[in-house]
Structure 1
Amino acid sequence: MPTFDLAIFVPLLAAHMLSDFALQTDSIARSKGRPLTLLLHLLITGLCAYLLLGDFSEWRLPLLVTASHGLIDLLKTRLSTARVSEAGAFVADQAAHLAVIFALSSLDWSRLKIFDPWWFEQNPVSYLHLLVIISGIIANTLAAGHFIAKALPAMISSDPKELPVDSGLYRAGRYIGHLERLLLLIFVYSGQLAAAGFLIAAKSVLRFQKANESRRETEYILVGTLLSFTLGIALAFATKLLLG
């Protein structure tokens, strides 16, 4: 009978979120075609998996994660040079990483007696809850932000740099998106869906007040806002479901 072990899935998911988003700088992401940069990223990936899994005598599982991660990143580099959009390559890359994590979590490692983490004897529920919360925060802020930055320009027919811009705060839009999706995560988890609706309405009003009469700019703002809220709500419910 197939098994699914959350004691494997949750630490590997958290390790992936940390290594691929929180601990991966923009310069590393752009330079992963270079062997030394890719090696540095894989070392971070393997170390995160090794530490969060918590079985310091077992190296085979972190090694499998690192090897598969490196292979997927190499394939992503090839996809980036092909006729595939950045958003499509990003989705394919993350789907492949999650598929590997699902596959490894479906193996009965405890039955093979090669997985015995230290936190099994402590408070495993609290430990896994903490990792889920960390994963949810990173997914709702950094991961969703990366996807929106890649997907939004592909949704319009012209270069977004041609849209009228003013001298706003540096990277303010990115931080606003992170904060609004973090608030959605808090509202959904606490069951305050009315507050989430108020946030969506308030953000929409503020954004449209700043938009000029250009239909293209207005639609660009609308698509970006709705995409951010859609991802935020979906990831917030996914986090809540996993916490349950």
Structure 2
Amino acid sequence: MPSFDLALFVPLLAAHLISDFALQTNSMVRSKDRPLPFLLHILITGACAYLLLGDFSEWRIPLLVVATHGLIDLVKIRLTGRLIDDLPAFIADQSAHLAVIFAISAIDWSRIGLFEPWWLEQNPVSYLQTLAVLSGLIANTLAAGHFIAKALPRMLSTDPQQLHQDSGLNGAGRYIGHLERILLLIFVYSGQLSAAGLLIAAKSVLRFQKANESRRETEYILVGTLLSFTVGIVLAFATKQLMQ
């Protein structure tokens, strides 16, 4: 992919991740079938694209992002209703958004006199790498957390609420997952794969030892841990390739 295409792809990817995961709350997701929350979400999506693209005289690309993003979300709402925890709907929705970003990035907008961001004349490499790091952090924490929360119960046909567990710290499991995947991102980018292996081994042993005597609960915890590491490693390598 030519570098000019990356000048579109990286900002649009960062804008999507920020608007869909960092700035969209659970209450907004649950009420997206109502006009005002839906409109607010797509306006935030367009604003993020407009600001990160950096061409403040060009509104047609952000408008295209708003139109396609809204259309995809409308189709998802019509087909799935309010099943926000449905894994296939989540995968299809995110795949469609990424496909649109790839398609927009494949267009040579310069031939029709569009897209001349201010940062192309400054330090485009540093700007794009910063957005790539930001995208990797959001993907490895918030986006990966949503995926794992939907995938794990479906994979094991088990409701986490039915397992016998103590209450623990409120939200601690989610934050532990975020931190471990951030560490994996750091280890993979710095080439310290042995440190990543040590982290996986230490975490797996600790979770196994602390698990309840119930074999069902123990296996659920281990599968969740290994799924988190798998997603984290894949996204870490993807982020590293994007930054290069």
- Fold shared, TM-score > 0.5 on shorter chain: yes
Question: Which residue of 1 is the match for residue 78 of structure 2?
Answer: 78
Any unmatched runs of 5+ in structure 2?
none
Number of residue pairs matched? 243
* Alignment root-mean-square deviation, CA: 1.7
Aligned partner of 1:23: which letter? L
CA drift at 1:4: 7.0
Give yes or no for contact 1:85–1:154 (8 Å, CA) kept in 2: no
Aligned partner of 1:121: which letter? E
Question: Which residue of 2 is the match for residue 240 of structure 1?
Answer: 240
Q: What aligned pairs does 1:48-87 form with structure 2 within 5 A after superposition?
A: 48-81=48-81, 86-87=86-87
TM-score, normalisation: structure 2: 0.96
SS at the partner of 1:110? helix
Alpha-carbon distance change, 83 to 49 in structure 1, aligned in 2, over 3 angstroms: closer
Aligned partner of 1:153: which letter? P
CA drift at 1:152: 1.1
Give yes or no for contact 1:15–1:45 (8 Å, CA) kept in 2: yes
Question: Which residue of 2 is the match for residue 96 of structure 1?
Answer: 96
Give yes or no for contact 1:11–1:53 (8 Å, CA) kept in 2: yes
**2:172 matched to 1:180?**
no
Question: Which residue of 2 is the match for residue 161 of structure 1?
Answer: 161
Question: Which residue of 2 is the match for residue 132 of structure 1?
Answer: 132
Distance 1:168 1:10 in 2: 39
**2:237 matched to 1:229?**
no
Distance 1:15 1:227 in 2: 26
Give yes or no for contact 1:3–1:106 (8 Å, CA) kept in 2: no
CA drift at 1:75: 1.4
Distance 1:169 1:124 in 2: 43
CA drift at 1:106: 0.3
Structure 1 stretches of at least 4 aligned residues deviating more than 6 Å after TM superposition: 82-85
TM-score, normalisation: structure 1: 0.96
CA drift at 1:158: 3.4
Alpha-carbon distance change, 82 to 46 in structure 1, aligned in 2, over 3 angstroms: closer
Distance 2:92 2:143 in 1: 14
Alpha-carbon distance change, 83 to 165 in structure 1, aligned in 2, over 3 angstroms: closer
Identity across the alignment (%): 76
Alpha-carbon distance change, 161 to 20 in structure 1, aligned in 2, over 3 angstroms: same
Question: Which residue of 1 is the match for residue 37 of structure 2?
Answer: 37
Give yes or no for contact 1:212–1:218 (8 Å, CA) kept in 2: yes
Alpha-carbon distance change, 3 to 187 in structure 1, aligned in 2, over 3 angstroms: closer
